[in-house]
Amino acid sequence: SQKIEQNSEALNIQEGKTATLTCNYTNYSPAYLQWYRQDPGRGPVFLLLIRENEKEKRKERLKVTFDTTLKQSLFHITASQPADSATYLCALPQGNLIFGKGTKLSVKP
Amino acid sequence: DVKVTQSSRYLVKRTGEKVFLECVQDMDHENMFWYRQDPGLGLRLIYFSYDVKMKEKGDIPEGYSVSREKKERFSLILESASTNQTSMYLCASSLAFGATHEQYFGPGTRLTVT
């Protein structure tokens, strides 16, 4: 079965820098991949979906890439702000969605 | 805006009690899901439903049951609560099965079983 690896449990960066989070999967390339944001004590909130035939997707300061050769998606936040501090989850379909364990991003002022 | 609500944010129950967690969505979504989330383990699917009165086991259904009598409401039942069921429980809904639709999550219920 498919496994998702978000290989950084935590990422600390300085305000204004670009945060890059990684999501790797182990088996077949999924038809799409989703990214969610989760704040402490709250449910995840959907951010972006990228399909396998899309190399890149953007939404405001967010950019997601999908490399089926590397079996990897990268999630970038440019000009990061303290308000971007949260846990970011990637998810891909296996029947339903399966979720990675997340990367906790901390943006320091 | 899609809204998914859960009946309680925090709940404390005793071992052996029967526990009901309620979830309601207001967007006429077909699919509803129950997850639990634990540190280091991530989100794990307990049960899901893709239609009224339909239910399917997820990855960790043991010790749980569900009920979906109306499209907008999906209930999770802990028949006899145990301490290892202490967790954050998250309900979610999505438009349709097998599509690329995102899941909308409720705020979560933090259940403590003592």
Which of B1, B103, B109, B112 is the mutation pick for testing A, counting most A CBs within 10 A? B103
On chain B, the residues whose CB falls within 8 A of the CB of A97 are: 103
pLDDT of residue B40: 86
**Which of B5, B8, B43, B60 to substitute to test the interface with A, most A CBs within 10 Å?**
B43
What is the dihedral angle through the alpha carbons of B81, A39, B55, A97, rounded to the nearest 10 degrees? -130
In sequence order, the β-bridge partners of residue B44 are: B36
The two tokens of residue B110 are: 């933090």
How far is it, in rounded angstroms, from Cα B48 to Cα B39?
22
CB contact at 8 A, A21 and A88: yes
Beta carbons of B21 and B9 less than 8 angstroms apart: no
Per-residue pLDDT of chain A (109 residues; tens, 9 = 90+): 788 999 778 999 999 999 999 999 998 888 899 999 999 999 999 999 999 999 899 999 999 999 999 999 999 999 999 999 999 999 998 878 899 999 999 999 9
On whether the CB atoms of residues B75 and B65 are closer than 8 A, the answer is: no
The predicted-structure confidence for B44-64, as pLDDT tens digits, reads as follows 999 999 999 899 999 999 999
Mean pLDDT of B57-80: 96
